[in-house]
Amino acid sequence: MLTLFHAPRSRSSRIVWLLEELGAPFHLRHVTIRYRDGSGGGPDPANPHPDKKVPALLDSGALVTESAAVATYLADLLPTAGLAPRIGDRDRGAYLTWISWIEGELGPAIFQRFSAGADAATPAAFEAALHRLDGALTDGPYLLGERFSAADIMLGGTLGWAHDVLPAEGPISVYLARLAERPAFARAMTRDAAPADDAA
């Protein structure tokens, strides 16, 4: 069985959502981490991640860490769920591009925006990221057009913790509302908040 090492309200929350969308049985193992505000516990010895971060996924002894790698691995592992275009599919390149961009460009741009403070000028990288998303989501309804994928879960999970610095109206807010209506999202948020280990 798949085991996800997870901490509530963290980067691994979107992986819980992905697993719910995939319909895969999995064991959710809560571990402590140090959050950016200094709260949380210290490194958890039960966490197999080399840096004691989350997410960390165990699949029959194989360890996968880092959000983009875990998402790509899981969506490819369970292809019948249809959350990853297969190799050779015309959408595969765009799908991989979005997953990489979300982690490599959008995430750092959001952190830059938070670090700048409420009264500072908006960093150019953050403005550029929002502009790119506005264009993609206007064409939507998802990153791959009509096709919902694991890239949308990665994006929705990333934007979810950045809502304080996002536009209150427009394509991004409409997109997030659309994602929040998914039953798997509601199930994942319930499990995300659970303080004890559980099994699906």
CATH number at residue 76: 3.40.30.10
The tokens describing 67, both together, are 């959000």
Q: How many domains does the chain have?
A: 2
Instruction: Evaluate whether 147 touches 83 at the Cβ level (below 8 Å).
Output: no
Q: Is 26 exposed, middle or buried (0-12, 13-18, 19+ CB in 10 A)?
A: buried
130 and 143, same structural domain?
A: yes
Q: Which domain holds residue 18?
A: 2-83+184-194
- Tens of pLDDT along 94-121? 999 999 999 999 999 999 998 887 778 8
Q: Confirm whether 200 is domain-assigned.
A: no
107 and 141, same structural domain?
A: yes
Q: Please report, to the nearest 10 degrees, the dihedral formed by the alpha carbons of residues 37, 42, 47, 49 taken in order.
A: 60
Which CATH number belongs to the domain containing residue 168 in this structure?
Answer: 1.20.1050.10
172 and 135, same structural domain?
A: yes
- Tell me the average pLDDT of the chain: 92
Q: What is the pLDDT of residue 194?
A: 57
pLDDT for 91 beyond 60: yes
- Tens of pLDDT along 123-171? 999 999 999 999 999 988 999 999 999 999 999 999 998 988 999 899 9
- pLDDT (mean) for 30-34: 90
Q: Picking from 12-16, 57-61, 191-195, which range would have the lowest pLDDT averaged per residue?
A: 191-195
C-alpha to C-alpha distances, 54 to 6, 11, 18, 150, nearest whole angstrom: 6, 7, 15, 18
pLDDT for 59 beyond 80: yes
d(CA 139, CA 125): 22
What's the angle, vertex CA 154, arms to CA 150 and CA 157, rounded to 5?
130
16 and 75, same structural domain?
A: yes
101 and 38, same structural domain?
A: no
pLDDT for 197 beyond 80: no
Sign, CA torsion 16/133/86/62: negative
Q: Confirm whether 128 is domain-assigned.
A: yes
Q: What percent of the chain has pLDDT over 70?
A: 96
109 and 41, same structural domain?
A: no
| Residue reference for tokens 């190799």 | 87
178 and 120, same structural domain?
A: yes
Q: What is the biggest distance separating any 2 CA atoms in the chain, rounded to whole angstroms?
A: 49
The one-letter code for the residue type at 73 is: Y
Q: Confirm whether 62 is domain-assigned.
A: yes
146 and 115, same structural domain?
A: yes
Radius of gyration of the chain (CA): 17
